[in-house]
Every structure is written in structure tokens, then in C-alpha cells.
A and B are shown apart, each in its own frame.
Chain A
């Protein structure tokens, strides 16, 4: 069992709020993702058990949605918006810079296990482009100094 009892309880609580428990699949996956850091097949079965739906329902939803990584990622998942507004403001260069200073390719984990960088579509932060999301937090109006500081702070936090 990978899921903690707290996670399972939270999932059950979520399921109880909806008129139909299947609706709790996304909330439950969110809980699972926040505890484990990524999603995988066996976890779908656990989630399904927790909220009382079938693994098929959980897995077909989970794999449709792209927000949850389906492979192990670094402790800090950096998602760089590559869409139009950010692109106009240098997103391509931002991503290249991140990959360079972290010395990884897209999707890889840094040696210290801290970072993974991936490209994503528009994150709804277009007026503050370029931007990136680190785990749940948005970092906006980025420039090189800001990025350096963010990375340093995260490294320090470990």
C-alpha cells in the first residue's frame, strides 16, 4: 500500500461530498499525486479501492489528464509554459536556461533528485509571462535573476 491512511481518509471524505462517488476520481488523484509525487498503475487500483469505483474508471481518467506526472519526477517539478503569450516573452529561452543550469534534459531528474523540467501548455498566467509552475506554486514575470533565486531557494530548502 502506497497510500497513507490520511490520503485514503481524505479521498473517502471527498467521495462522500458528491452525488456520485465517481466524481471523486480527480480529487482523489490529486490527493494521491500530492502524497506520492506521480501516478502509476498500481496506484490507480488503490485509489479505486479507496473511493469504491473500478480501476478502469480511475486509470482512464488519470491517463487522460496531463497534469499528473506518470513517471517519477524530481522533488520539484518545474513546468514551463511554452504557449503563445509566454513564448512571445522568451519561454523557449527560459526552458533552455533551466535545462542548462540544472544540466538535465526535459523530463529527467537532476542528480540530487531535486528537479525535473517539463514543457506545458498555457497555465492561465499569460499577462505575467514568462512563467513557470513549481509543484503547486506559480512563479511569474520571470527573468534570469528571479529564476536563479528561485532555484537557489529551492536547493537550500532541499
Chain B
């Protein structure tokens, strides 16, 4: 069901002001942590909550923090991932715009937990407004002594820096993000070493998503136990789902994990527009396999969605109605992945282009029947053979559309035109 934990104050226009935030008990968690808790205790509490990363991969946050070597003489860094570039996803933006102190406080607590003296928030370059909201909040926090030197007289120092990107989806991937933060092109790094051991400036670094870190102050405030009771046993807490596409009420909704997809699409989203029939749902951003209408009751938690053959991903739920050309969907996303491939590894760099070229040929009416098998084989030659998951992601929409909507491809190839014509909003 809808459960406003992160979104508790999202509608208060004054929430971004630090005084408002403080008046509602804000920064109390940070104070508590700095004054009463050891870093290990904080990690323990977060582990107890069972919270898993909200950036896409769903890795347990507390566990990730505990990988940071304690005895390393190098400085440690916290990086908050606000790159938010996965098509269909725009949840972190809402948090940064409307409750930036929730992000700042979560970052500060997490930084303390891993022993970092610097915390960065990497925000995609196009997010000018969210970045300015974050900058303002950070400035205020410095002024009030929640950041900077000797925070609240505890001797803990923390510098917090907003870093904006330059337009590159791949910079959401943590190692590319770190390269980008170092001023390099956003190409990825091979793992191991993992960032927790060798990350920013070759020092131990934790990268977490904005939504993940926003939960941290609430976990401290209410206890890991409290958090772990929300959601399902293995998928604890809430998640923000970004509902987009052919629904009446698109928007960002915070749901308790385990809530059925149908509740989001029909009850909150008001169902498909123009009374059309539901055709396909992408449940977790463009990199997740498509679900069919009959799967609409799938509970939205990591395990159930996986069981349904897809992934919870980044929470971007994209709804498509009957007048959607699935070959067009594939080609649109193929273009995206080709454009965003960092170019480091061969299968993704060359494969995404080959796939796009082939789809372009098909949609230009020059396809051949063999192209379908060729596409599947190219997918096979990319999948699992790349440095980072972008390659794996790139093949998902192609495979998924071929598997579920093969006749549309065949029709296109035979007749040089789509089986289903796109009928979308028109401006002319």
C-alpha cells in the first residue's frame, strides 16, 4: 500500500528550509549518531534494517559499508549517487528537490559510519534545480554546524560537495561515476578491486543511491527493527516507484515493498489512458524485462518481481497500451544504450551499435527474417560478457520484445511496416 516514510513531508513547500526540517525533528539522528554511537553501531543498525540498495542492484547497504577496510591509512569517501539516468526513473530528483536535508542528513550519518571525511553527491548535470536545492541545503547545514569542522563539538569533520555530471547515463554505474568524479571520461573500471577497497582516488569508497541514503536517518531515528517490519521479509522498507507512460495519473508513489503492481497502476495511477488496453509493463526502468498484462498482480518486491522474470531495478514503472509498436520500443532503447555505451569493452561498444543498425534497417523496411535470430545471437554475444551491467541491460529490451512480441518483428520484416502503429499524443 502507499506508505509515506520518505515522502512524509514531501508536500510541504517549506521542507527544504533547514529550520522547517529541524522543527520536525531533523538532524536529531545525526546528533544521536555523533554523540552516542560508534561507527560500528551505526553499521549494525543499518544491517538490522535489512535495507537493500535502491539504485538498481539491490545490494544490502549495511553489508557494503562493512567492506570498507578499517585499518587502511587512506582517506575514505562516501559518494551519494544522484545520477538518475535510467529511462523511466525520476525518484531521487524528487527527494533532492523537496526534502534535500533528508539526503544531507543520511549522507552525513553514513559518512560517519564508514569514517569518511569527504562526502560527495554526484548529480546528473541536467538536474540544475535539484543540484541547487542540494547546494542550498548543504550551505545551511554548514551554517548550522551540521557539516564542516568539529560537527556539534564532537570532533568529527565532514566536507560535503555537490558534484554535477556532464550528461552520461553510464556515470550512474558506480565505477564510471568515480572516474567521472575524478574528472575523467565516465568509463567503467573492472572489479575487483571493489570501490569499498579502491574507489575514489584509489581510496576506500562507498557509493549509495540517494533513496538508499535518505532512509538512513529514519532508520537511526526509528531503529533498524522498525524498518525491517515494513515491506516483506527480504525486501524491507518502502520504495519510490516512478509511474510513467500510458497511465492516467503518472507520478512518484512511495509504496511498502510487496504491494501489487496493479495497485500502483490502477488504484494510484488510475489505469490506462483513453480506455485502452494494457499491453506491456516495464517494472524497474528500461533495463528490466517486460511484464505482460497478466502479470499485473505481481507484488513489488525484489523476490516476486524476479520470480516473474524481471527485476525491481530502479523503480521506474513504464506502462504501454495496445497502440504501442514494440519494435519501436526496442529501437528507441537500442539507440539509448548505443548512445550511452562508454566504449570501453568490445561487446557493448560494437554490439549496441550493430543491434541499433539492424533495428534501423528493419524499421526502414529492409529487414530480413534472419535478422531476428541475428539479433538474438548478438544479444547472446553481449550478455554476461561485458565489463559492466550496461551491456547486459542493453540486450534486455531486445530479447524481451522478441520473446514476447515476435510476430511484430516478423510483420515488420515481411511488410516493411509495423503491425501496430504507434498512436500517441500529437502536437500537430
Binding site for B on A (CB under 8 A): 17-20, 22-27, 29-30, 53, 57, 60-62, 64-68, 79, 82-85, 87-90, 92-94, 96-97, 100, 120-130, 133, 136-138, 143-144, 147
A19 & B167 in contact (Cβ 8 Å cutoff): no
Chain B residues positioned under 8 Å from A123 (CB to CB): 126
Chain B residues positioned under 8 Å from A65 (CB to CB): 125, 165-168, 185-186
A88 & B324 in contact (Cβ 8 Å cutoff): yes
Chain B residues positioned under 8 Å from A68 (CB to CB): 166-167
Q: How many A-B residue pairs have CB under 8 A?
A: 176
A22 & B182 in contact (Cβ 8 Å cutoff): yes
The one of A27, A88, A143 in contact with B318, judged by C-beta atoms closer than 8 angstroms, is A88
Most buried by A among B324, B340, B425, B428: B425
A20 & B85 in contact (Cβ 8 Å cutoff): no
Q: How far, in Å, is B185 (CB) from chain A's closest CB?
A: 4
B185 & A121 in contact (Cβ 8 Å cutoff): no
- The CA of A111 and the CA of B166, in the complex, are separated in Å by 28
- The CA of A22 and the CA of B201, in the complex, are separated in Å by 11
Q: How far, in Å, is B388 (CB) from chain A's closest CB?
A: 15
User: Do A90 and B426 form a contact, CB below 8 Å, given A85-B244, A121-B340?
Assistant: yes
- The CA of A82 and the CA of B428, in the complex, are separated in Å by 17
The one of A67, A82, A89 in contact with B424, judged by C-beta atoms closer than 8 angstroms, is A89
- In the complex, how many residues of chain B place their beta carbon closer than 8 angstroms to a beta carbon of chain A? 61
A124 & B426 in contact (Cβ 8 Å cutoff): no
User: Do A122 and B86 form a contact, CB below 8 Å, given A84-B333, A93-B425?
Assistant: yes
The one of A23, A27, A121, A124 in contact with B90, judged by C-beta atoms closer than 8 angstroms, is A124
- The CA of A93 and the CA of B163, in the complex, are separated in Å by 34
Among B3-11, B55-63, B245-253, B376-384, the stretch in contact with A: B245-253
B168 & A83 in contact (Cβ 8 Å cutoff): no
The answer to the question of B106 belonging to the interface, with a C-beta cut-off of 8 Å to chain A, is: no
Q: How far, in Å, is B107 (CB) from chain A's closest CB?
A: 16
The answer to the question of B150 belonging to the interface, with a C-beta cut-off of 8 Å to chain A, is: no
Binding site for A on B (CB under 8 A): 75, 84-90, 93, 118, 124-129, 159, 161, 163-169, 180-187, 201, 242-246, 250-252, 282, 286, 316, 318, 320, 324, 328-329, 332-333, 336, 339-340, 422, 424-428
Chain B residues positioned under 8 Å from A30 (CB to CB): 125, 164, 166
Chain A residues positioned under 8 Å from B318 (CB to CB): 84-85, 88, 126
B183 & A127 in contact (Cβ 8 Å cutoff): no
Chain A residues positioned under 8 Å from B425 (CB to CB): 89-90, 93, 130, 143
B87 & A121 in contact (Cβ 8 Å cutoff): yes
Most buried by B among A89, A100, A120, A133: A89
- The CA of A147 and the CA of B233, in the complex, are separated in Å by 47
Q: Other than the known A61-B183, A84-B88, A122-B87, what 15 A-B pairs have Cβ atoms closer than 8 Å? A: A19-B75, A24-B183, A26-B164, A26-B165, A67-B167, A84-B282, A88-B245, A90-B427, A92-B422, A94-B427, A120-B167, A121-B336, A127-B250, A129-B245, A138-B129
Chain B residues positioned under 8 Å from A53 (CB to CB): 183
User: Do A147 and B427 form a contact, CB below 8 Å, given A30-B164, A68-B167, A88-B246?
Assistant: yes
Chain A residues positioned under 8 Å from B159 (CB to CB): 17
A26 & B180 in contact (Cβ 8 Å cutoff): yes
Most buried by B among A53, A84, A97: A84
Q: Return the 6 tightest CB-CB contacts between A and B, nearest first.
A: A67-B167, A65-B166, A90-B425, A64-B185, A25-B183, A97-B427
